[in-house]
Amino acid sequence: MAEQLADDVAPMGGEVAPVSVVIAAYNAAQTLGAALASALGQVPRPAQVIVVDDGSQDGTARVAAAFPEVLVVRQRNQGPSAARNAGIRESNQPWVAFLDADDLWLPGKLARQLAALREHPHAVLLAGDWVRTLPEGGVDAEAGIGAERALGQRVPSRVVGYRDVLVLNRFQTSTVLVRAEVLGRAGSFDPALDGAEDWDLWLRCARHGTVVKLDAPLAVYRDEPGGYSKDLGRLYARMLTMLGREGRGGVLPAAAFAQVLTWHYLRFAVAFALAGQRTSARTVLTELRAAGLARHIPAATARYLAPFLGGRALRRLRSRAL
């Protein structure tokens, strides 16, 4: 069985990887060319690259058309989840990788993941660390590891369990490589959860097999102001929707899930407070108590919140000292 699973990770002809790359693009004319070059420049090269132009009004389609080996799909604007799902439907390889149009793959990204697949032939999803470019300039080289280190969970490449993924969205989308067959079983990105849609899908994939996190940066994430990931209120609401589904799924024992859910309420209360949204922070704590989770606050604080906040504080001090 392991040999059979390993067959679809060997580069074809030594230079082509059995991977479909899905790039969702919206008004990405300024960045898409570099993103495509970073994917097509991989060794081994991906067998298929798909750009889904999500109703762009700039020159995105023209940039994509300059790469004749790229399949371009055009649709009306429907958001990142629908765009990625359109790309998944067009994919024809055993593995699907994602790359946002304003991100970059680092050299060796696919090679590292294919090597890890030979070590973990039953893996259904692999991801890795990333480097973040900041809106004001500069680079955060620890973007992909800061939260894990803060939680005391920074270790070399390892198998990641369902609970690990539930505690923290560890995977930046542009680092993810997932088995196409598992996407067929787990489902696709949920457009109703845009902003938390990636985390939701990784959790569903984690129910179907081994997930591996590589201790290596695989992509460059361009942090831009605005966007889905910057709206705390929307993220909070969609996180609760997603976690409600996970709780009903019964993957974890009820007490263990309640502790993780309490941690997420607490971290959003802190996030709102740090953003100066004190009323929202108080509302989160009120909703935590209304959900009957108050008794889990001490355990969730000790296990998750205190290490997280302490680790973040140490990281800030270290960065200021450099």
Domain boundaries, the chain: 2-226, 253-321
Distance CA 233, CA 33 (A): 33
**Of 111, 115, 127, nearest to 15 (Cα)?**
111
So what's the pLDDT on residue 149? 46
Asked if residue 79 lies in contact with residue 60, where contact means CB atoms within 8 angstroms, the answer is: no
So what's the pLDDT on residue 222? 86
The tokens describing 243, both together, are 């976690």
So what's the pLDDT on residue 7? 56
Q: What is the mean pLDDT of each run of 10 residues along the chain (322 residues)?
A: 49 78 98 98 98 97 96 97 98 98 97 94 96 59 46 60 92 97 96 94 96 94 65 94 93 95 97 96 98 97 90 55 48
Q: How many CA atoms lie within 13 A of 260 on its CB side?
A: 21
Give the architecture-level CATH label for domain 2-226.
Alpha-Beta Complex (3.90)
Q: Which residues 6+ apart lie within 8 Å of 151 measured at CB?
A: 167, 168, 304, 307, 308, 311
Q: Which residues 6+ apart lie within 8 Å of 286 measured at CB?
A: none
The pTM assigned to this predicted structure is: 0.86
For 190, list phi and psi in degrees, rounded to 5.
-95, 110
So what's the pLDDT on residue 64? 97
Say which DSSP state 12 is in: B
So what's the pLDDT on residue 5? 46
So what's the pLDDT on residue 152? 45
For 115, list phi and psi in degrees, rounded to 5.
-65, -40
So what's the pLDDT on residue 176? 98
So what's the pLDDT on residue 313? 58
For residue range 108-118, list pLDDT tens digits in order.
999 999 999 99
**Dihedral sign computed on CA atoms, order 113, 115, 120, 122:** positive
Coil/strand/helix, residue 151 = coil
